[in-house]
Amino acid sequence: MANKFFKKSPFSLLQQKVALCSAYKDAKCGIDKKKKQLFWSGRIKPTAFSKEYNILILYKLWESPKVWVYGDELEKLDAEDFPHKFDIDVDAKMVRICLYRYSEFNVYKLLADTIIPWTVEWLYFYELWLATGEWLGGGEHPDLGKEKTDEEKK
């Protein structure tokens, strides 16, 4: 009933920052007022037996968050079948990762409740991919540059 009378407001960059700082106290988080952009930088360990990975998130309201994993912990950056990524910079040892379908994140959701947990999940499946050579995380990221077989075209 209340939804008829009150319009839902998007989370501001400040609200996003407060949520991130509260949930991830060891990370660095701030807002670049010139760029009107939030940044979050922290280390994530997907399991107790995993390596810790450096993560950088850049977010502007009304745009999709950009999430990078970077550092010496990354392996197989030059692999043709490196999974669920937008960009890779092998020399800088960084990859911009694909976490979700376009409609799954919006300004009414907190980064701390969505993007960070999705990044943990991506890292978990990345480590499985390193071990097995198969991406087990599902998803619909297109195989860029990979030609489909006759069976896949059907």
Q: How far is CA 74 from its chain centroid?
A: 15
In a domain, residue 38? The reply is: yes
pLDDT tens digits for the chain (154 residues)? 556 677 789 999 999 999 999 999 999 999 999 999 999 999 999 999 999 999 999 999 999 999 999 999 999 999 999 999 999 999 999 999 999 988 899 999 999 999 999 999 999 999 999 999 999 998 875 555 454 445 544 4
Query: Is the CB of residue 93 less than 8 Å from the CB of residue 70?
Result: yes
Instruction: Give the global pTM.
Output: 0.86
Starting at the earlier edge strand, list the strands of the sheet with 28-32.
28-32, 37-44, 53-59, 66-70, 94-97, 85-89
The structural domain count of the chain equals 1
* 148 is a domain residue: no
d(CA 5, CA 11): 19
Indicate whether 15 belongs to any domain: no
Asked if 53 contacts 44 with a C-beta cutoff of 8 angstroms, the reply is yes
5 within some domain: no
